[in-house]
Amino acid sequence: MHDQPSVSELVTAVRGFISDTAAPQLTGHAAFHARVAVNVLDIVLRDLEARDANDLREAASLAALLNISPEAHSHSEMVQMLCEKLRNSELTLSTPGLLEHLKTTAIAQLEVDQPKYSGLREARGRP
């Protein structure tokens, strides 16, 4: 497929239209939703940029934690397996590497979802 304009370029163009042209003409509830829409498109742009690398890193980390081969299971299967091991207390807060895996994964997610969130600053500040 052609990628000129790329998906990112198209989203950037729509974002600019909403923020610079449409939003200033709106009032009340519609203006609020326009601001939310701009934030959503910023999430989309960050997600497009980060998802592949984040998923690869998270899969490797999950496989190490679960002591399995990352090629043998899908991403969602591994997340499900981790959840089951947490639910039956096979893994706990004191399991080496567990909280580090969850923290690294959550930081990567927040950097896409809400990079200005105060809890993210706190998490980064405590190595």
Enumerate residues 83-112 that contact other proteins by CB under 8 A: 83, 86-87, 89, 92-94, 98-99, 102-103, 105-107, 109-110, 112
Minimum CB separation of residue 65 from other proteins in Å reads 10
Place of tokens 């052609």: 2
* Contact range with other proteins by CB under 8 A, out of 2-10, 19-27, 48-56, 75-83: 75-83
Kindly give the interhelix angle for 28-66 and 98-113, rounded to the nearest 10 degrees.
150
Q: Does 17 bind other proteins (CB under 8 A)?
A: no
- Residue among 36, 53, 56, 64 that touches other proteins (CB under 8 A): 36
Q: Does 121 bind other proteins (CB under 8 A)?
A: yes
Q: Does 26 bind other proteins (CB under 8 A)?
A: no
CA distances from 52 to 3, 56, 58, 109, 114 (A): 18, 6, 10, 12, 18
CA distances from 37 to 49, 88, 112 (A): 19, 40, 15
Kindly report the number of other CB atoms within 10 A of residue 103's CB atom: 13
- Residue among 39, 60, 64, 97 that touches other proteins (CB under 8 A): 39
Q: Does 119 bind other proteins (CB under 8 A)?
A: yes
